[in-house]
Structures are given as structure tokens and as C-alpha cells.
Structure 1
Amino acid sequence: MSKTDHGTVELNVGDDSYTLTFNLKAVKKIERMLGSVFIAMQEVQRFNLSAIIQVITAGAGLALKPSEQEALEEAVYQAGMISVTPTLIEYLSALLNPAAKTADQMAEAEAAAATGSAKK
């Protein structure tokens, strides 16, 4: 049985921080809004502001009023779409393969292995 808990990813947009969670609810919301996680990844890579906002909204479980969505769009634009894209791509990649380890989990495992071999 695959495990879908990667933990979370923190996305910083200006002064705000959003916690993106790995769960089926986020996947379904992204699919409903953009068609699929893969399409969302393509659109985020194209720096599509609407797709970026939808992924943040789905991943963070936000229900934004129109004025709040506009404020988030402005914050992403001001922070630079290129600055949030790598984190969103990593997040979407993990959603496509929930049983795999994230880059942070792999780094922790490597550090633990290095520490273990150093003690011998």
C-alpha cells in the first residue's frame, strides 16, 4: 500500500507563508480546476498566474473571497512568479508520485546514513 503523507511544503510569497499539504483533496481540487496535476505542472512552468494561484489555493486548502484572491495574485506577482515556481513544481511532482520520498526526505536519509557510517 502506498503512503501519501510527504508532510508539507512551505511556500513563501512576500511576507506570507503558505503550507501546501500532500493529500487527495488537493489533487482532486487541482484536477477540477486545471484538468490534471500534470497540466497544472505545465501551466505553472509556463508562469501562468491563474494556475499558480489555483495550485496554491488547492495545496493550502484556501477558500478565498474574490478580494483575497486578487491580493494573493498581487503578492505572487510582486514576489515574482519565477520565485514561487520551483517550490510549486516540486509540490506537484510529489503529488504525482505520493509513495516516493521528497528531496528533503532523501537528504535526511543521506545525512542519517553518513552519520551512521561515520560512527563506525
Structure 2
Amino acid sequence: MKGRFTLSTCDRRDRVWRRRGERSAACNILQHDRFGSGSVMVWGGISFKWGTALHVLARGSLTAIRYRDEILRPLVRPYAGAVGPGFLLMQDNARPHVAGVCQQFLQDEGIDAMDWPALFPRPESN
């Protein structure tokens, strides 16, 4: 599991639903600083019985090398060993997850990863 937490209310993703003629109504105006927002990326592993410590990733993008060196090697490998046979890693198709260097690491360590479909089937409408 990975996530992104915004450190301020302004992450440029605010949405406002308003009625016609309410564009400038005080209740639809959100003040924010102009110094930019911040965020922190975290990763944590969970399963039926256990979980890993929450790992805070330092500044910068999560590359395949960082994913292998900061997540897979120090966190996933020992976690998989603690869970034992039948451990199956579930991750999405983010570029670092599917990069060759990470896939090779998982294969070398004998860690199976669940196939994650590019698109989930949509439920039938009745």
C-alpha cells in the first residue's frame, strides 16, 4: 500500500459544486497560501494477520531503484519470510513496480507477485 498525504489544503485538486449564480459566494471561496503545498509519500504492507512499519519516502520521485532498495529489499523481503509459504505480493502497475529491475529482484528472492490487470471489468448494468 502506498499513499500520498497533502500537508496543506491546497494541492490543486479542490473541487467545488455550486448552483447557478453562486460562483463568488463566500461559502465557495477557499483561501490558501501561495507558497505551494507539500506532500509526503508513504508505503506500508498489510495482510490478514500482520503489517509492516509505515515507511516514509524521502523527497523525490519513486524510481524502480528506490522501490527495490527502500521498499522491496528492506521491507517486503523480510515480511515475506515472516509470513512464510504462500506469501503473494499485491501491487499495482505503477512504473517502479513493473520495472525489470524490480521484477528481477522478486524473481531472485522467490517472491510471487499477483498479476494486476490494466483495466478491471465493469459491472453489468441492469
Settle same-fold status: TM greater than 0.5.
no
- The answer to which structure has the higher helix fraction is 1
Higher RCO structure (Cα 8 Å, ≥6 apart)? 1
* Structure number with bigger Rg: 2
Q: Normalising by the residue count of structure 2, what TM-score does the alignment of the two structures yield?
A: 0.27
